[in-house]
Amino acid sequence: MSTSSRYYPNLYKDSVSLMTVSAQIMSVNGIDAASVVMASATNIDNLAEAGLGPFDIRPNDLLVALSGTSEACEEALTKADDLLTRTASTGDTGAVAAQPITSIQMAVSQDPSRNFALVSVPGDYAAAEGMKALRLGMDVMLFSDNVSVADELALKTYARDHDLMVMGPDCGTAIVNGVPLGFANVVRRGPIGVVGASGTGTQEVTVRVHQLGSGISQALGTGGHDLSEAIGGISMLHGLAALDEDPATSVIILVSKPPAAGVATAVLGAAEASAKPVVVIFLGADPSTITRNGVYGAAYLAQAADMAVALARGQDPRSGDVAVSSEMRRRLTDAARSMAPSQQFVRGIFSGGTFCFEAQLLHAANGVTAYSNTPTAGNHVLERITLSQDNTIIDMGDDEFTQGRPHPMIDPSLRDARIRQEVDDPTTAVVLFDVVLGYGSSLEPVAGLLGIIGTSRAAARAAGRTVVFISYVCGTDQDPQARKDIVAALQAAGVLVASSNAEAAAWSATVIAERQKVMS
């Protein structure tokens, strides 16, 4: 065991950056302790007491102190150096900066061919910026949330009247002309167009289409409120019409949670009138109520992608339940039967809201009700979001968890801690979780988690319990994080990795149903 340190004179980094660096170097194998702190006298004394010092530096210096194997310390210091100096140098190049573009008007003045604006400012100002862009004749993606319904309606009405589209507010995912925007994955271009009111839902569908060998022409977001009665699905109807006219699109997928009844009628009517086949996934709605002439209802996200790819290839689309292979069923049943009597419940820990929603639906379809911070019909509200009860399936990307924190897709450390908490709970039978890859997501989404799975699994075993870990990795091998590497790392840690979120949930429900059978 050795100790290493490095200091950076007068280097100021905001607290979130310091915590991020600390988490990243802690994830290096062989590191026992890591501290990234300002070198105040008290911190220096404490580090010295912990055997990581002494140091002779000043309070304004930034200190990285480590203990672990010498190889790990060296690797971690290099990593810290890269993270800390990479961003520091950008602010201190000495170069004379070009006049920055400070308004949408300025951007259009510089190049009048610019016709698309992505607005990501605090919600109070987002509507005004969006309207400025619309008045300049631009389509708008509103990444911002906290925009009032009245403002959303005003923006979308203006856009509709001027043949423009507003994606959002709170639109986190889109792929426009092959360019991923917000949280989006690197997928092949192809004949399938998507209009989605759900970010991770759109990611799941586009990724699945890619994995099946087909590709995406456009993936347009609408924001989560678009299909409410107040907004009337203005953006989804516009997106559907745009894809209908797009010569590069031959099949269209619409993704949403169940819309208001009147809006559903309008959207399905427009889909039926489309010249192209339209696959519709209204999560939670019975597909048979959707299917009609040229419109194909899907029950799950992955199924919507499967059906669209089949249609694009001129094949018959098939719908049905999510199948669990006999081999996997046997494996899951064996695992369930070998559990301790206390182990009864699933703990679903999600970063994608739609994945959480879909997982609840799958469990409910298998007779497993759950508590959640975002419960589906028939499920219950979790009393304290920090504490699971019975079967619990939570969306850690929801506002309650992200207040003052990065979204777990960006910084998964809170999710990781929650998973550790669940494994420590003697009633936990299954830990079910998602890993979302792509632009915007953490570049090392399981770096911290792998260690947690290893240690907590060992602790559970020592207590006579075997917890089943089930995961789904939403992404492609072309994403910055390379899906195959993430999947391989999870599998090496003993995690069962499903090919879709629905399949992962079905696996989990299989275990819980078996546990219920054993306990009865």
Partner 1 sequence: MRVTAGAIGSVIEVRTPRTGRVHSVFTHAVNLELGDELWTVLARDGHDAALTVRLSGVVVPGDLGLRIHDPVCVRSRHVRVGAAVIDARTAVRWMPQMYDVDLYGLGGRAAELEVAARHVAWAGSWPLADAVIGALASGDRSDLDDAVRRTTGRGPGLTPAGDDVLVGVLAVLTAPGVAADCEPVAARLRAALAPALPTTTEISRALLSQASHGHVSRPVWELARTVLSGSAAAASAQAPADVLSAGATSGGDTCAGLVAACRLLSRSLEGIKA
Kindly state whether residue 19 participates in binding partner 1, applying the rule CB under 8 A: yes
Of positions 15, 177, 293, 520, contacts partner 1 by CB under 8 A: 15
Candidates 56, 89, 97, 492; binder of partner 1 (CB under 8 A) is 97
Closest CB to partner 1 among residues 110, 288: 110
Out of 3, 6, 30, 38, which residue is the one contacting partner 1 (CB under 8 A)?
38
> Which tokens go with 369?
């009700």
Binding residue for partner 1, selected from 1, 2, 54, 60, defined by CB under 8 A: 60
Phi and psi, residue 467, nearest 5°: -95, 135
Q: Is 89 in the site for partner 1 (CB under 8 A)?
A: no
Per CB under 8 A, contacts with partner 1 among 384-413 are 386, 403-404
Q: Is 94 among the residues that bind partner 1 (CB under 8 A)?
A: yes
SS3 355: helix
Bridge partners of 255, per DSSP, are 196, 281
Q: What is the DSSP code (8-state) at residue 98? A: P
Question: Mask of contacts with partner 1, 337-376, x by CB under 8 A?
Answer: ----------------------------------------
Evaluate whether 356 touches 284 at the Cβ level (below 8 Å): no
Q: CA-CA distance, 76 to 66, in Å (whole number)? A: 8
- Mind spelling out the 3-state secondary structure of 273-328? HCCCCEEEEECCCCHHHCCECCEEECCCHHHHHHHHHHHHCCCCCCCCCCCCCHHH
Q: Which stretch binds partner 1 (CB under 8 A): 18-26, 195-203, 230-238, 288-296?
A: 18-26
Nearest-approach distance from CB 447 to partner 1, in angstroms: 18
C-beta of 100 vs 247, nearer to partner 1 = 100
Q: Of the candidates 33, 37, 365, 450, which one interacts with partner 1 according to CB under 8 A? A: 37
Would you tell me how many other CB atoms lie within 10 Å of the CB of residue 439?
Answer: 16
**43 is a site residue for partner 1 (CB under 8 A):** yes
Q: Where are the beta strands (DSSP E) in 325-427?
A: 345-350, 371-372, 380-381, 392-395
Which token pair is 38? 């300002």
Q: Contact with partner 1 (CB under 8 A): which of 9, 12, 120, 318? A: 12
Strands 2-8 and 179-182: unpaired
8 A C-beta contact, residue 38 and residue 12: no
Please give the backbone phi and psi of residue 379, each rounded to the nearest 5 degrees, phi first.
-95, 175
Taking the C-alpha atoms of residue 38 and residue 263, their distance in angstroms, rounded to an integer, is 55
Kindly state the DSSP code that residue 398 receives in the 8-state scheme: S
| Residue ranges in 116-175 that form contacts with partner 1 under rule CB under 8 A | 121-122, 124-125, 129
List 54, 59, 213, 367, residue binding partner 1 (CB under 8 A): 59
- Per CB under 8 A, the segment of 14-22, 67-75, 136-144, 205-213 that binds partner 1 is 14-22
| Nearer Cβ to partner 1 (20/200) | 20
Q: Please tell me the chain's helix, strand, coil percentages from 3-state DSSP, rounded to the nearest 5.
A: 40, 20, 40
Peptide bond into 277 cis (omega under 30): no
Is 103 near partner 1 (CB under 8 A)? Answer: yes
Q: Which stretch of DSSP H or E encloses residue 428?
A: strand 428-436
C-beta of 46 vs 319, nearer to partner 1:
46
Residue 92 within binding range of partner 1, rule CB under 8 A: yes
* C-alpha distance from residue 475 to each of 174, 217, 309 (Å): 14, 17, 17
Is there binding between residue 14 and partner 1 (CB under 8 A)?
A: yes
Q: How far is the CB of 134 from partner 1 (least distance, A)?
A: 17
Binding segment toward partner 1, per CB under 8 A, in 88-96, 152-160, 234-242, 472-480 = 88-96
* 18 contributes a contact to partner 1 by CB under 8 A: yes
Q: Is 46 in the site for partner 1 (CB under 8 A)?
A: yes
**Through-space distance between the first and last CA atoms of the chain, rounded to whole angstroms:** 51
Nearest distance in Å: CB 490, partner 1:
27
Footprint of partner 1 (CB under 8 A): 10, 12-16, 18-19, 22, 35-38, 40-43, 46, 59-60, 91-92, 94, 96-97, 99-100, 102-103, 121-122, 124-125, 129, 386, 403-404
